[in-house]
Copies of this chain bind each other. A is one copy, B any other.
Amino acid sequence: MKEPPFSLRDATVAIVGLGLMGGSLAMALHAQNACRKILGVTRNPATRQAALSGAIVDAASADLTLAAEADVIILATPVRTILEQLPPIGAIAREGTIIMDLGSTKLETTRAMEGLPAHVEPIGGHPMCGKETFGFDAADADLYRNAVFVLTPLARTSTSTLAFAGSLAGTLGARPVVLDPARHDKIVAAISHLPFALAATLMRTADELARADDLLYVLAASGFRDTSRLAAGDTTMMLDILLTNHENVAAALRVYAHHLDELAELIDRQDETTLRAILQDAAMKRRKLF
């Protein structure tokens, strides 16, 4: 067994999925010459070609078995693909291999990691960064910079593996935050999945109203642009998120719908005093936050 702790510098890192998250990770590691070798696994032939010709990866394949020789395997695919890939990855990984996923929900993936063979070192991860664009073309070596990088260790995760994951975050310019997977999923339902649901619903609503007036989008400015931005994201990734975190998302949506109902009623009643108090409070909290 290759004894952890080993350093990122000496490691062969396999990245499964070279979309926005995986591609950006490969670019960041490559740009800093941070590891010995980068292997890329993706089904997309154009991405393999682009990653190889840009020398972002040292080898690329459509086949997961390329990852067999890695010291670290990072799954950067949508959550439900990660759930499918974990068993075959566990079957090919060598003793001591660190297996990390970057899935946007952590309870199901971390539970699935419990089923990995005893000789591998699993840990969950979720870098809190993203864009509404996706795919290797949207990847960016600086994507992780200044982001919070959530780590969800399992009971069996060794301290060395946790330290290694922390060093990976540090190399990317990100800040590790260790969290229980259930707590992570509840938090991101509120600050990530709820905003996505709101943006998609705004787009749907605007589209319905635009059918009645073709000038509607002509007047759309930066406010509409920013509030609807998340709606443009990768549908498969977001669908996997909503389905693997459906209870927390539904709960956040219920709290939201309650507040929205109340606001609509205050507007209907033209209750200026209460409206002012609510909007002032929201404004002050938002200004403090960013």
Contact = CB atoms under 8 A, between A and B. Distances in A.
Interface of A: 128-132, 147-148, 150, 177, 179, 183-184, 186-188, 190-192, 194-210, 213, 215-235, 238-239, 242-243, 246, 249-250, 252-257, 259-261, 263-264, 267-268, 270, 272, 275-276, 278-283, 285-287, 289-290
A197 B282 contact: no
B195 A224 contact: yes
B276 A219 contact: no
A186 B214 CA distance: 12
A128, A177, A243, A290 pick with most chain B CB within 10 angstroms: A290
A84 to B, nearest CB: 15
How many chain copies? Answer: 2
B206 A190 contact: yes
A213 B186 contact: yes
B243 A272 contact: yes
A285 B224 CA distance: 13
Given A231-B283, A267-B249, A216 B187 contact: yes
Contact of A227 (B195, B207, B249, B264): B195
A223 B196 contact: yes
B280 A235 contact: yes
Contacts of A210: 190
Contacts of A256: 201-202, 205, 260
A220 B191 contact: yes
A129 to B, nearest CB: 6
Nearest to A131: B222
A272 B236 CA distance: 10
A111 to B, nearest CB: 17
A226 B226 contact: yes
